Amino acid sequence: MSDKQTGDKLTGTVNQGRRRFLAGSAAVGAASVAGAAGMAGVGALTHSQPAKAQANGSAANIHVAPGELDEYYGFWSGGKSGEVRIYGVPSMREIMRIPVFNHCSASGYGQTNETKRILGDSAKYFNGDAHHPHISYTDGSHDGRYLFINDKANTRVARVRLDVFKTDAMVTVPNVQAIHGLRLQKAPRTNYVFANAEYLIPQPNDGRDINDPTKYHTMWNAIDADTMEVKWQVIVDGNLDNMDTDYTGKYAAATCYNSEGAVTLPGTMRNERDWVTVFSIERIEQAVAEGNYITIGDSDVPVVDGRKSAGLNVTRYVPVPKNPHGLNTSTDGKYFIAAGKLSPTVTMIEIAKLDDLFEGNLSDERDVVVGEPELGLGPLHTTYDGRGNAYTTLFIDSQVVKWNMEDAVRHYNGEDVNYIRQKIDVHYQPGHNHATLSESKDADGKYLFSLNKFSKDRYLPVGPLHPENDQMIDISGEEMVLLHDTPTFAEPHDAVIIRRDQIQTKQIWERNDPYFAATVARAQEDGVTLETDNVVIRDGNQVRVYMTSVAPNFGLTEFTVKQGDEVTVTITNLDRVEDLTHGFCVVNHGVSMEISPQQTSSVTFTADRPGVFWYYCNWFCHALHMEMKGRMLVEPA
Ligand code: K7E
Ligand code: CUA
Ligand code: CA
């Protein structure tokens, strides 16, 4: 029924009329419950797929009853909203949001001294563009320690601690612009975070070569996952879009849509073929160890030349059809699979052949290609069920196609086999997709999410700006079945879903947590014991206010400063009760922060006007929460 022909013209626009017509005619063909509306090809979308889900009982399985817990944690990137969102899967209840590249009114992320230290020089930016969240590994399985994510907008990589669900480290990658594809070393453990810089810029980018695009280059970057320092960079031919790593820790591969090295859209479409760039991690490490690198500008990060012309044999460029996009490693560890985007194909690279490629035992780079199945229009990203099937999003066809990898290889070898298993309509136009545990060797093939870029008519209208639409599909059986729609706001690109037992969280903070260790050290310099003292310390025009909080009281119900003072308020929440978070908000000063049980938080601001300014607790904590407040008395200068 949904295995329709894919002969439409290549078009990037959403054709809502076409989708409605297809939905209508499908209903007519099937059971004709839509009646005249279906025959006329107009009217509301039919609900044939959810109806089927109910019929076979799948829809009942995704109802997680009140008070019950989900089976999986889902981590969604927040796109240009800059955050990470946590969903319970399969209920798709949003459990938490983690501010990463954005600032947060509720928690004070981006404003407190603890989070400003994490953001460093980039604390001045209020935006980010978070695309690719990935969870750390030990031996190809998720170990639940960290989540890493890129910021395309401001060229950053961030790390989120999964014991407290807080961003704890960030680095701005030097010498490059726009970190896009990001992946982690999967084995033996995540020692490196690898990051693609997408855009070409002059090297060094100091204004001298702005009019000479032949001098523009970009780099592949390795960040130490434990220290979050950039370890080395590799200059490449062309650009870098998405990437993935293998399951041995030896290789990574990235798509390049701009082998032309162009700086205009028509220019990036000129070549019939672009390539997948393959990186040999050990050969790059060896080049660095042997001093075979340069440094650029005032950065001291080793830069290895991975261009073909340099002849260092640290990279290989495998030709693939023009302008590829997603690159996803199959969970059996066998293939790098690159999605064609402008070609209806995906290209399967056999990872076991890469040693031979680098050792010069193959006559042609294309010899590592073992399959190139034709799937439909606009293939963007692929995910896996751990049973030999792959699922690729088709942006232009607005479908997810299920196909069998070994059959695709046999077809490439000339056998007459059909590798396509099923195509299912999604609503509308998917980018990434992701199946449960599908970035690890533990892929369990239960739920697949199609992250669709447009929701059109799926929800109550909210004006010109629409939400996106993430659809949950049951892939546990032979046939894919659509289970559930979830609206999401601008713009989750990608997701990663792991079992709930793979994450161990803390219920309350430990007093020696590194998250606020620098604030504790500062207090010790002032001779202050945070757990007991409520004091005000004047140091020139800097005033440091230390207080405790125990529901429903702040340790100080008033403090006095002078107009023009730089005031730092440090609060330690002495409550040990799970879920008993306090807040600190100063009226008319733009100051607000979270202080969770046993946490210390601090914020610095200027008392710029004389008068009385109330501060209050803005996280509901007690029956007398409204009464938890105090006065800042500002004496005129
Ligand atoms: Cu939008 Cu992964 Cu940045 Cu594809 S990426 S759709
Ligand atoms: Cu403390 Cu509300
Ligand atoms: Ca191209």
> Which of 427, 441, 317, 315 is CA-nearest to residue 386?
441
**Ligand 1 within 6 A of 423 CB?**
no
Q: 310: CA distance to ligand 3 center in Å?
A: 22
DSSP assignments along 67-99, one per residue: TPPPSEEEEEE-BTT-EEEEEEETTTEEEEEEE
User: For residue 63, what pLDDT is reported?
Assistant: 87
Single-letter residue type at 196: N
How is residue 163 written in tokens? Answer: 């014991």
Poorest-confidence range of 21-35, 158-172, 340-354, 422-436? Answer: 21-35
Type and span of the H or E element at 265 = helix 265-268
pLDDT at 36 over 90: no
pLDDT at 465 over 70: yes
**Ligand 1 within 6 A of 431 CB?**
yes
What is the rounded distance in angstroms from the CA atom of residue 19 to the CA atom of residue 428?
A: 9
Q: Could you list the residues known to form a binding site for Cu cation, using ranges.
A: 131-132, 180, 325, 381, 432, 493, 582, 617, 619, 621, 625, 628
User: For residue 59, what pLDDT is reported?
Assistant: 53
CA dihedral 140, 143, 144, 146 (to 10 degrees): -80
197 to each of 34, 277, 336, 590, how far by Cα in Å? 50, 13, 20, 35
The label of the residue with tokens 């690719």 reads: 132
Sign, CA torsion 158/84/76/498: positive
The string of pLDDT tens digits covering residues 204-242 is 999 999 999 999 999 999 999 999 999 999 999 999 999
User: For residue 62, what pLDDT is reported?
Assistant: 79
3-class SS at 184? strand
* More reliable by pLDDT, 60 or 91: 91
Report the nearest atom of ligand 2 relative to the CA of 549: 1
The string of pLDDT tens digits covering residues 608-631 is 999 999 999 999 999 999 999 999
Residues facing 602 on adjacent strands: 570
Poorest-confidence range of 36-40, 396-400, 443-447, 563-567? Answer: 36-40
pLDDT at 633 over 80: yes
pLDDT at 14 over 70: no
Q: What is the mean pLDDT of residues 525-534?
A: 98
**Ligand 1 within 6 A of 134 CB?**
no
The string of pLDDT tens digits covering residues 136-151 is 999 999 999 999 999 9
* Ligand closest to the CA atom of residue 571: 2
How is residue 316 written in tokens? Answer: 């290989």
Q: 465: CA distance to ligand 2 center in Å?
A: 36
Q: 262: CA distance to ligand 3 center in Å?
A: 8
Q: 462: CA distance to ligand 1 center in Å?
A: 25
Contacts of 71 (CB under 8 A, 6+ apart): 89, 90, 499, 500
**Ligand 1 within 6 A of 242 CB?**
yes
Q: 81: CA distance to ligand 1 center in Å?
A: 15
The radius of gyration of the chain from alpha carbons, rounded to an integer in Å, stands at 27
* Ligand closest to the CA atom of residue 262: 3
> Which of 514, 516, 546, 521 is CA-nearest to residue 531?
546
Asked if residues 180 and 196 have their Cβ atoms less than 8 Å apart, the reply is yes
How is residue 382 written in tokens? Answer: 């692929």
What is the rounded distance in angstroms from the CA atom of residue 387 to the CA atom of residue 545?
A: 60
Report the nearest atom of ligand 2 relative to the CA of 581: 1
pLDDT at 18 over 50: no
Tally Cβ neighbours within 10 Å of residue 254: 29
What's the whole-number average pLDDT of the chain?
A: 92
The string of pLDDT tens digits covering residues 63-98 is 899 999 999 999 999 999 999 999 999 999 999 999
> Which of 325, 320, 231 is CA-nearest to residue 281?
231
Contacts of 132 (CB under 8 A, 6+ apart): 77, 149, 150, 180, 181, 182, 183, 242, 493, 494
Contacts of 402 (CB under 8 A, 6+ apart): 389, 390, 391, 420, 421, 422, 423, 424, 475, 480
Q: Say what percent of the chain tops pLDDT 90.
A: 90
pLDDT band at 60 (very low <50, low <70, confident <90, very high): low
**Ligand 1 within 6 A of 341 CB?**
no
pLDDT at 45 over 50: no
Asked if residues 268 and 323 have their Cβ atoms less than 8 Å apart, the reply is yes
DSSP assignments along 33-59, one per residue: TTHHHHHHT-SSPP-HHHHHHHHTTHH
Q: Whose CA is nearest to atom 1 of ligand 2?
A: 582
pLDDT at 419 over 90: yes
pLDDT at 326 over 70: yes
